[in-house]
């Protein structure tokens, strides 16, 4: 699973999102989840192509899923569901 956190310089919520995702990646398995931070100023065309209008936003596998920082439970549920779906697809 590939996750991208769209952030902007000076965004305090972006740092919080990065820390939450780092911890979840460790808990759920860093071998299953790859993530990177995308500076919207440096990659504006890419951010706009996904529909990012504010930071922090989170895309999973190239799809904009969260247009703001979700609560921890909602983010965890989304990641766990997608990991489960990946396992089910791999087993068929």
pLDDT, tens digit, 9 for 90 and up, residues 23-47:
998 998 888 899 999 999 999 999 9
The set of residues, in sequence order, having a beta carbon less than 8 Å from that of 58 and lying 6+ positions away, is 3, 4, 5, 6, 17, 21, 64, 65, 66, 69, 70, 75
DSSP code, position 56:
S
Residues of the chain with pLDDT under 50: none
Q: What is the pLDDT of residue 6?
A: 96
CA 75 to the chain's CA centroid: 9
Q: Where are the domains of the chain?
A: 2-90
CATH pick for 2-90 out of 3.40.30.10, 2.40.50.320, 3.30.56.10, 3.20.20.60? 3.40.30.10
pTM of the model: 0.88
Q: What is the pLDDT of residue 85?
A: 83
Q: What is the pLDDT of residue 29?
A: 87
Tokens (6 digits) for 40: 């919207």
């Amino acid at each position: 699973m590939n996750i991208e956190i769209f952030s902007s310089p000076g965004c305090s919520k972006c740092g919080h999102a990065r820390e939450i995702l780092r911890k979840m990646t460790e808990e759920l398995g860093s071998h299953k989840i790859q993530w990177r931070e995308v500076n919207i100023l440096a990659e504006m065309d890419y951010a706009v192509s996904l529909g990012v209008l504010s930071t922090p936003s989170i895309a999973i596998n190239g799809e904009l899923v969260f247009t703001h920082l979700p609560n921890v439970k909602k983010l965890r549920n989304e990641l766990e569901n997608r990991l489960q779906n990946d396992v089910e697809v791999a087993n068929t």
